Amino acid sequence: MKLRILLFSLALFSSIPCFSFEGESGIRIYDLRTEMLNNPEGINALNPRLSWKIAGESRGLHQIAYRILVASSAEKLASDTADLWDSGKQNSSETNGIQYRGKNLQSSQDVYWKVKVWTSNSEDTWSTASHWSMGLLYFKDWKGRWIGMDSLTPSDRDEKFSKLSARYFRKTYQLPKQIKRAKAYIIGLGLYELYINGEKIGDHVLAPAPTDYSKNILYNTFDVTDALHTGENTIGTILGNGRYYTMRQDYKPYKIKDFGYPKMLLNVLVEYTDGSSEVLRTDNSWKMTAEGPIRSNNEYDGEHYDARKEMPGWSTPTFDDSSWTNALYVLAPSGNIEAQMTEYMKVVETIKPISITPLKPDTYILDMGQNMVGWLKLKVKGSKGDQIKLRFAEVLNKDGSLNVDNLRDAKSTDVYILKGGEEETWEPSFIYHGFRYVEISGFPNTPTLENFKGRVVNDALEESGTFETSNPIINQVYKNAYWGIRGNYKGMPIDCPQRNERQPWLGDRPTSAYGESFIFDNQKLYSKWLDDIRYSQKSDGAIADVAPAFWMYYSDNMTWPGTYLMIADMIHRQFGTVAPIQDHYPHMKKWLVYMRERYMDENYILTKDSYGDWVAPPATIEEGRGMTGNVKHPSKIISTAYHYYFLQLMSKFAALTENHNDISEYQQLALKVKKAFNQHYFNKDKNSYGSLTENILAIEFDLVPEPKKTEVFNRIIHQITKENNGHLNTGVIGTQWIMRCLTENGRADLAYTLATSTSYPSWGYMVENGATTIWELWNGNTAAPNMNSYNHVMLLGDLIIWYYENLAGIKSKKPGFKEIQMNPIMVNELNYVNASYNSIHGPIVSRWKKNNKKFIWEIRIPPNTSAEVYFPTKDLKNIKENGKPIAKIDGIELKEVKGNRVHLKLVSGNYILSSEL
């Protein structure tokens, strides 16, 4: 059958719930993936993992067997000649991460594959063909030499506020024969743009993804067959600075890593129709110049572009490069060469500004209407030499001027100098900004909204979830989270996009990443981040607080480096793959041993913590006025609680990786830690461990002795309702667990109160005060500016998880949603929830609504899965499916009636369940 991608959509922020399912007949196999890539060019894995999805409307549809064919050509695959691998018929329901086990694959090899599945409805179906190509698998496969220029030009500055112009390279080749296939393999550090015959290759930006270049560097692969032709061809590249040439040169060298000047290595493998081939490679016959229009590019400070220095046709054969010099050989970076296995960064959206306001003569304030991450594209007509300055910020002062206090010393300014004459358009190449407002000065005439477009830039991850409720505060917080999360995806998860930091702090993401996975397919991004964390590990086991370790912070604490374990667990839970745990288990174990040997005392208390419950809110908004959020309160109770939690995770990981001898060691130590935790920290008179965060951790990590759980939870309720007047007072640590803690222990109503509050401190308070992303601080509107980002995600905690798993009722009961738990909470104030999540098996949908007379719940369960469904009624006879009693419906099994819920098991399919209220 013909391959067809299943199209599924649900309005993200529609005003009313939409109840309808798209129908389709027959069985489809779709979304074939190789190594979980959306662009499977240049795979470095010798045994890639293959995945697919099944679609069909038959209830209970599931795979009972599969057969994979892998061939060296499309023609062989079409004739079912699997010269590389024939898996044979495998009696298995598995569709995710099947490891290739065929013949050894070679560098640059093209590979074609398809899968046949046998299903429960007696159908067997072939997918259409899919393809991947191998990368350059070995160091010696790379030909040529690294080229660059390890020095400054007269216009460059090597200092705190560095200024380094972009380097341009070009080389013309004579290709004498008809071309069959051509692939380009490029490492351009820090960032590159690749051109062939005057055309940019690819629609990506800011490539490659950043790494600690002393440990590993990433290359990208492109099929450039259509860009080349018989005869003369010119390859051109532009190198920007990125994270390679440090943004604060000669500033705090003890803290900030410096890797050197931009450099590149490029191979283009050209195959001819007569069977011959050649490799076009970088060497010192290439020409270069640093006198192009990009005069400086610095992630913190912006890009300076002088259009008067443009070089029309610079990457075409007819260009005169006689004024250019020969490229220089430079020392190769020390990091391992690896293929980039994550999505590229791209311009994912273009938005229009909502207003432009005069501030003073020749100065205007542009409002994008949304705190966004990316840059401006401008359109202008003026005289040669006119200089436009664009300065970016998140907020305004009371007088309407730009407030840049929270940027620290980041200049966040772009400069464009006109060449004059006709209308000009421009957008930067090697920087990005976090901003809502732009101060525009030097515009040659009166600027209008039509002169500017906002270009939204982030990793081009597939959006995997939609979510909407009847509560506008929840919807706006969700939208704010959406903008904040994607804006901080920059080849790694960064903390903020605007000030002179933009670092991948581990402590920001341990639980946030879990929630993010419902909105974006972030498996590849976070798998790459696990590698970054591993590369940050010292030989003794210590792990950095920031990874890649651009900043040399090794503070040794449980909560920040422990993110390593929590991210691996999230990937296993949400995406059903154990590979990251297998790959990283030895390094996780090494870190935990390091922490235990160095910081666990004779009483089994883990004595080292660095940050405590980071950014807990001041008691009142006024009390926090002018206060810095950069205050650390180290806590042994937090580090000891997390030690116990991580021992539980490691016990689970040991079982998954068949390190069975480790399990008893973890479990025995955990018992000792739990006993010590209660002996040292439990106050029997108050039935409390201390703060709200400390009590939440004790409950959530199962540290509380069974007879005392009710009393401790009651203490949590008292702290929220009485001591905090119905508010949380948790920082980063407590907020990661608070919503689930309340809900799992019977107080979903109080969780809902926190989720919908608009008074300080709350997510709704941010919304009420104009936020369009998530603030770094609960009191972001009154705090001191030195640590006060208006686009952070760390305070989301487990809120997004709660939205999907508890409000919508979409939760993975078995890894990868092989079995789904659907148990939405019911709160009186909420009338409907519309949610979807595109799991590795296909779309899961939960749409429920209630009114005074009826409750309706529409459910989609993807093929090859089942769901444990908890219907909110105690009257089994009251439940109908499409108007019929469920006892007469195939695919619905009654498990039990317990309290106000009827527990059902549903096979895959679409359902409309209803009951009278």
The DSSP string of 5-32 is PPP----SS-SS---------S-EEEEE
**Helix, strand or coil, per DSSP, at residue 405:** helix
- Report the C-alpha gap between 701 and 709 in whole angstroms: 12
The yes-or-no answer on residue 819 being catalytic is no
Q: What is the number of other CB atoms lying within 10 angstroms of the CB of residue 340? A: 25
Question: 674's torsion region: left (phi>0), alpha (psi -120 to 50) or beta?
Answer: alpha
Do 455 and 392 touch, CB atoms closer than 8 A? Answer: no
Q: In the predicted model, what is the mean pLDDT of residues 595-603?
A: 97
pLDDT for residue 872: 93
**Helix, strand or coil, per DSSP, at residue 356:** strand
Question: Among the listed ranges 135-144, 247-256, 625-634, which one has the minimum average pLDDT value?
Answer: 247-256
Do 148 and 328 touch, CB atoms closer than 8 A? Answer: yes
pLDDT digits (tens, 9 = 90+) for 417-454: 999 999 999 999 999 999 999 999 999 999 999 999 99
**Helix, strand or coil, per DSSP, at residue 850:** strand
Q: What is the mean pLDDT of the chain?
A: 94
Q: In the predicted model, what is the mean pLDDT of residues 223-230?
A: 97
Q: In the predicted model, what is the mean pLDDT of residues 484-510?
A: 97
Confidence of residue 336 (pLDDT cuts 50, 70, 90): very high
What angle, rounded to 10 degrees, do the helices at 636-656 and 692-700 form? 20
**Residue that wins the pLDDT comparison between 3 and 136:** 136
CA nearest neighbour of 274 among 177, 174, 176: 177
Residue in the block written with tokens 């955990």: 670
The proportion of the chain whose per-residue pLDDT surpasses 90, expressed as a percent, equals: 90
H helical segments located in 612-720? 636-656, 660-681, 692-700, 709-718
Do 387 and 450 touch, CB atoms closer than 8 A? Answer: no
Residues near 398 by Cβ (< 8 Å), separated by ≥ 6?
none
Residue 174 CB burial class (10 angstroms; 0-12, 13-18, ≥19): exposed
* Domain 28-133 architecture: Sandwich (2.60)
Three-state helix/strand/coil letters over 789-811: CCCCCHHHCCHHHHHHHHHHCCE
Residue in the block written with tokens 């979807």: 836
Confidence of residue 176 (pLDDT cuts 50, 70, 90): very high
pLDDT digits (tens, 9 = 90+) for 283-300: 999 999 999 999 999 999
**Residue that wins the pLDDT comparison between 732 and 876:** 732
Q: In the predicted model, what is the mean pLDDT of residues 879-900?
A: 90
The yes-or-no answer on residue 776 being catalytic is yes
Helix (H) or strand (E) holding 339, with range, is strand 336-339
Residue in the block written with tokens 């006024």: 622
Two tokens, residue 217: 């560097």
CATH topology of domain 811-916: Maltose phosphorylase, domain 3 (2.60.420)
pLDDT for residue 12: 27
The proportion of the chain whose per-residue pLDDT surpasses 70, expressed as a percent, equals: 97
pLDDT for residue 254: 85
- Report the C-alpha gap between 307 and 316 in whole angstroms: 19
The CATH number that domain 347-459 falls under is 2.60.120.260
CA distances (Å), origin 258, targets 241, 249, 264: 12, 7, 17
pLDDT for residue 16: 30
pLDDT for residue 887: 84
Catalytic residue among 299, 776, 805, 881: 776
Task: Return phi, psi of residue 251, to 5°.
Answer: -130, 120
Does 159 have pLDDT greater than 90?
A: no
pLDDT digits (tens, 9 = 90+) for 95-104: 999 999 999 9
Q: In the predicted model, what is the mean pLDDT of residues 580-584?
A: 96
Confidence of residue 544 (pLDDT cuts 50, 70, 90): very high
Helix (H) or strand (E) holding 621, with range, is none
CATH topology of domain 480-634+681-808: Glycosyltransferase (1.50.10)
Two tokens, residue 428: 């930067």
Residues near 770 by Cβ (< 8 Å), separated by ≥ 6?
none
pLDDT digits (tens, 9 = 90+) for 108-140: 999 999 999 999 988 888 999 999 999 999 999
Question: 686's torsion region: left (phi>0), alpha (psi -120 to 50) or beta?
Answer: alpha
Given 3.30.1130.10, 2.60.120.260, 3.20.20.150, 2.30.30.100, which CATH number is that of 142-342? 2.60.120.260
Does 497 have pLDDT greater than 60?
A: yes
Residues near 361 by Cβ (< 8 Å), separated by ≥ 6?
none
- Report the C-alpha gap between 298 and 164 in whole angstroms: 8
Catalytic residue among 193, 303, 501, 694: 501
pLDDT for residue 35: 66
What angle, rounded to 10 degrees, do the helices at 709-718 and 692-700 form? 150
CA nearest neighbour of 646 among 719, 564, 721: 564
CA nearest neighbour of 508 among 614, 387, 432: 614
Helix (H) or strand (E) holding 768, with range, is helix 763-768
H helical segments located in 66-192? 74-78
- Report the C-alpha gap between 843 and 838 in whole angstroms: 4
Q: In the predicted model, what is the mean pLDDT of residues 174-199?
A: 97
Q: In the predicted model, what is the mean pLDDT of residues 186-204?
A: 97
Residue 274 CB burial class (10 angstroms; 0-12, 13-18, ≥19): exposed
CA distances (Å), origin 523, targets 33, 39, 271, 448, 874: 13, 15, 34, 41, 39
- Report the C-alpha gap between 744 and 709 in whole angstroms: 12
pLDDT digits (tens, 9 = 90+) for 31-58: 777 765 555 677 888 899 999 999 988 9
pLDDT for residue 716: 98
Two tokens, residue 655: 């079982």
Q: Where are the domains of the chain?
A: 28-133, 142-342, 347-459, 480-634+681-808, 811-916
Residue in the block written with tokens 């002088």: 306
pLDDT digits (tens, 9 = 90+) for 361-372: 999 999 999 999
- Asked if the domains 142-342 and 347-459 are classified in one and the same CATH topology, the answer is yes
127 secondary structure, DSSP code: P
CA distances (Å), origin 221, targets 235, 399, 461: 15, 50, 18
Helices (H) and strands (E) in the chain, counts: 15, 44
- Report the C-alpha gap between 475 and 521 in whole angstroms: 20
